[in-house]
Amino acid sequence: MTERIVIENLATIPEGNVTVAGWVDKVRDQKKVQFVVLRDESGAAQLVHPRAEESDPIADIISGLATGTFIRVTGELKLDERVKLGGLEIKIADIEVVTAANPETPIAADSGIDKRLDWRFLDLREARNNLIFRAQTTLEHAMRTYWIERDFIELHTPKLMASASESNAELFEVEYFEGKAYLAQSPQFFKQMAQSAGFGKIFEIGPVFRADPSFTSRHATEFISVDAEISWIDSHEDVMKMQEELLVAAISAVREKHGEEIKELFDVDVVVPTIPFPRIPLAEAKKIVAERGYEVPRKDDDMDPEGERQIAAYVAEKYGHEFVFLTDYATSIRPFYHMRNADDQTITNSYDLIWRGTEITTGAQREHRIDILEAQAREKGLDPTELEFYLDFFRYGVPPHGGFGMGLSRVMMLMLHQPNLREVTYLFRGPNRLTP
């Protein structure tokens, strides 16, 4: 059997006989000539078959092709600048139906997102959706490259835990032999364990689970978290510096490899941010937002989504930047393990990273002193005896450290200017979706 050539490589080979395979995207069945748009995992190409005046088995096969049918075609590759699909076409010499598709497809180009998610494997055949995951692969590879070149260690932390990794809220409980376990809300405790173990600098890209009943455009019950933790820091500023360098490297890689295609299919320019990203203390950000005419509700001392959009608009106007670090979050809304400011115990050495009005990251310097850590846990209403396995990490020497967690789907959603996570998640999981 002749070796199959993927469509994106056709432009790199001389004219002559080739074999391609993929699914039927479109058929134009004309009186004298037939055209088939064939798509594979790399792109699309035009196939052509002039009808014979007498018996024509190839024409009969083409006339019966339904969209989505998988075919294998051997024919003569010809360069033709008139052809819109890559300036080349293949004159069919032989065609084989590998698997036929049902003639009526369950989704269309104008189907809603929920209907498309019901038939996600068909939805993913679209060139736009294929590009999302090729760009995501490039983004992850660039992040790993950044870390590995700087001697970070990659970890794979457990997703089954005996107790909560953040708080007792938003936990999925599962049966575990004679007892129970919980799906990990984050790799937080194990990232910090690595600092006590002397690993120094670590990262992980892996799933986390949140039993959050939210139905917003940016929440999911299972998502991929991008995490890093580093030792021997002076403050959360060291973590922010590492993260902004990481994002510049990753976004630059996507722009270089996929920028033109993203512009063509999404009408989006991939913008590589400049360093340093703007930094604004949360209290100051709230004042700025108030001056713009929006009062952030005082509940929880946090910045709400509209406040995030307003401060992002301010940063875009003043600095021409898509990113902003909001720093110095209140002790009242941060976890017990965030280090508090040495001069003001009401705020923490922490930050959120906002990209075009949406939070993508929470980061902080961690508290590494066991006596203070225990006291802060009690202040939060936690029983230190239930955190013994975690607190033990700090009883045998641990360096000052900090890190962040970042949602991968949020990054992709914002980079490609998509309306929600569901568009950029391979198989989305939410409160009312567990299939396919």
The binding site for L-aspartate consists of: 166, 210, 362, 366
Pair 303, 327: CB distance under 8 Å: no
The strand ranges marked E within 58-166 are 70-79, 88-99, 153-154, 160-161
Q: Which of 30-53 are b and which e, b meaning 16 or more Cβ less than 10 Å from the residue's Cβ?
A: eeeebbbbbbbeebbbbbbbebee
Separation between Cα atoms, residue 409 and residue 429, nearest integer Å:
12
Q: What is the distance of C-alpha 407 from the center of its chain?
A: 7
φ, ψ for residue 327, nearest 5 deg = -115, 170
User: How far from 386 is each of 54, 166, 172, 390, 391, CA to CA, in Å?
Assistant: 83, 13, 18, 9, 9
Q: Name the helix (H) or strand (E) containing 133.
A: helix 127-149
Residue the block writes with tokens 């108030």: 290
* Residue 76: half-sphere exposure toward Cβ, Cα within 13 Å: 6
Separation between Cα atoms, residue 350 and residue 325, nearest integer Å:
10
Residue the block writes with tokens 């009186």: 31
Separation between Cα atoms, residue 6 and residue 12, nearest integer Å:
11
- Binding-site annotation: residue ranges for ATP: 359, 407-410
Q: Name the helix (H) or strand (E) containing 65.
A: none
- Binding-site annotation: residue ranges: 166, 210, 359, 362, 366, 407-410
Separation between Cα atoms, residue 157 and residue 90, nearest integer Å:
50
- Report the relative pairing of strands 153-154 and 201-209 from DSSP bridges: parallel
